[in-house]
């Protein structure tokens, strides 16, 4: 069994981006600029946003964090987005989710200029993924595909099972696995006899948000397991995944840990998307 080191793969990706970005001042006169907007003080969001700024620094990119108070109105946030859309010096723009309940996430996602949408959440980017037209890939699914590639796992012809059908992880990663020629089964809360299906998986991606829900009896020998979950162990309160690592790992040929698996890849892919938005803009000038 191999533990897939997402930290190492993400560090290599960021180093490659840093080298690429270092050539930009001479070629284009500046480096890419990512703006992250955070509304309120959700503790997880504070950490995520800080990590995004740190990753920008590691890649030699400019970054700005805008913090707005919890009570910011939807209209005020939309106006702020319009301003950033119009700002030529901004290449990538994201608003950290979740947002306070009085603000529509759908409206905010749609308001971001799709050419600056580094999260890949804008309807035009989502449509591009499904229609195979140019688009920005969502970061977590892209990170999962890169981890598989780094491990030398080619999904072609393999039976892939994805648990979870959210717009952010499960659904797009299922589509990407399909495009990589896997045979994909997408499972969700209404799936009947989940263990019977997961036992058929050669690649198992779990994005359900349920601590340790996948146990050793639910997988077959040799499976490659990608655990997207970021949960709290109800017993210890520690960060854990959707996969019960201790019972699943001995049967897996490769498995991602939590933390240190998919999480760092998500941010590395965000950096990659920021560079892509910057380069697209240079190409369109
Ligand atoms: P979500 O709540 O939007 O979706 C969860 C999905 O799992 C739903 O489609 C639901 O049908 C399915 N599901 C839930 N319980 C199930 C069960 N018992 N059996 C079968 N299906 C079940 O969650 P999400 O936004 O997709 O996130 C999933 C997990 O991934 C969370 O733990 C989240 O914190 C984590 N996450 C991690 C990263 C990262 O960068 N590592 C990024 C995004 C999300």
Active site residue 82: no
Between CA 266 and CA 80 the distance in angstroms is 25
Distances (CA, A) of 75 to 127, 131, 219, 221, 228: 26, 32, 48, 53, 33
Between CA 158 and CA 18 the distance in angstroms is 34
* Cα 32 to averaged position of ligand 1 atoms, centre (Å): 31
Tokens of 136: 């920005």
**Regarding beta strands 224-227 and 92-95, do their DSSP bridges make them parallel or antiparallel, or are they unpaired?**
unpaired
Q: Is 185 in the pocket of ligand 1 (CB under 6 A)?
A: no
What's the pLDDT score for residue 283?
Answer: 86
Atom of ligand 1 nearest to the CA of 208: 7
Q: Is 188 in the pocket of ligand 1 (CB under 6 A)?
A: yes
The pTM of this model reads 0.97
Q: What is the pLDDT of residues 100-126, one digit of tens each?
A: 999 999 999 999 999 999 999 999 999
Q: Which residues contact 145 (CB under 8 A, 6 or more apart)?
A: 173, 176, 177, 180
Q: Compute the mean pLDDT over every residue in the chain, rounded to the nearest whole number.
A: 97
Active site residue 242: no
* Cα 33 to averaged position of ligand 1 atoms, centre (Å): 30
Q: What is the pLDDT of residues 184-233, one digit of tens each?
A: 999 999 999 999 999 999 999 999 999 999 999 999 999 999 999 999 99
Q: Which of 80, 91, 96, 158 is catalytic?
A: 96
Between CA 77 and CA 69 the distance in angstroms is 10
Q: Is the pLDDT of residue 270 over 90?
A: yes
Atom of ligand 1 nearest to the CA of 241: 32
- Distance from CA of residue 108 to its chain's centroid? 18
**Regarding beta strands 92-95 and 33-39, do their DSSP bridges make them parallel or antiparallel, or are they unpaired?**
parallel
Between CA 245 and CA 268 the distance in angstroms is 24
Q: What is the pLDDT of residues 38-49, one digit of tens each?
A: 999 999 999 999
Atom of ligand 1 nearest to the CA of 143: 40
Q: What is the mean pLDDT of residues 173-186?
A: 98
Q: What is the mean pLDDT of residues 168-192?
A: 98
Instruction: Look at the block and give the residue holding tokens 């040929």.
Output: 253
What's the pLDDT score for residue 206?
Answer: 98
Tell how many helices (H) and how many strands (E) occur in the chain. Answer: 11, 11
Between CA 266 and CA 227 the distance in angstroms is 13
pLDDT band per the 50, 70, 90 thresholds, residue 89 = very high
Look at phi and psi of residue 209 and say left if phi exceeds 0, alpha if psi is from -120 to 50, else beta: left
pLDDT band per the 50, 70, 90 thresholds, residue 285 = low
Measured by CA distance, the residue closest to atom 5 of ligand 1 is 208
Q: Is 170 in the pocket of ligand 1 (CB under 6 A)?
A: yes
Atom of ligand 1 nearest to the CA of 165: 9
Measured by CA distance, the residue closest to atom 31 of ligand 1 is 209
Question: What is the DSSP secondary structure assignment for residue 165, as one 8-state letter?
Answer: -
Active site residue 200: no
At 28, give phi and psi (nearest 5°): -120, -5
Q: What is the mean pLDDT of residues 64-86?
A: 98
Q: Which of 14, 52, 175, 212 is catalytic?
A: 52
Q: What is the pLDDT of residues 1-57, one digit of tens each?
A: 999 999 999 999 999 999 999 999 999 999 999 999 999 999 999 999 999 999 999
What's the pLDDT score for residue 284?
Answer: 74
């Amino acid at each position: 069994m191999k533990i897939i080191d997402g930290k190492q793969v993400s560090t290599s990706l960021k180093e490659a981006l840093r080298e690429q970005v270092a050539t930009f001042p001479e070629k284009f006169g500046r480096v890419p600029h990512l703006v992250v907007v955070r509304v309120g003080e959700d503790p997880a969001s504070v950490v995520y946003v800080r990590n995004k700024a740190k990753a920008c620094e590691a890649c030699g990119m400019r970054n700005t964090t805008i913090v707005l108070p919890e009570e910011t109105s939807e209209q005020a946030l939309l106006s702020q987005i319009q301003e950033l859309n119009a700002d030529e010096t901004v290449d990538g723009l994201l608003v950290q989710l979740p947002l306070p309940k009085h603000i529509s996430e759908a409206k905010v996602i749609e308001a971001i200029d799709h050419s600056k949408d580094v999260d890949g959440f804008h309807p035009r980017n989502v449509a591009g993924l499904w229609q195979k037209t140019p688009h920005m890939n969502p970061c977590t699914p892209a990170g999962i595909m890169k981890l598989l590639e780094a491990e030398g796992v080619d999904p072609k012809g393999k039976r892939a099972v994805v648990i979870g059908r959210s717009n952010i992880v499960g659904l797009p990663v299922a589509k990407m696995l399909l495009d990589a020629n896997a045979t994909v089964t997408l499972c969700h809360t209404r799936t009947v006899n989940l263990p019977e299906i997961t036992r058929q998986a050669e690649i198992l991606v779990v994005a359900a948000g349920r601590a340790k829900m996948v146990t050793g009896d639910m997988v077959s020998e040799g499976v490659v397991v990608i655990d997207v979950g970021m949960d709290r162990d109800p017993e210890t309160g520690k960060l854990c995944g959707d996969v019960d690592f201790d019972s699943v790992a001995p049967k897996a040929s490769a498995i991602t840990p939590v933390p240190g698996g998919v999480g760092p890849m998500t941010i590395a892919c965000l950096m990659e998307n920021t560079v892509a938005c910057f380069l697209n803009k240079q190409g369109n000038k």
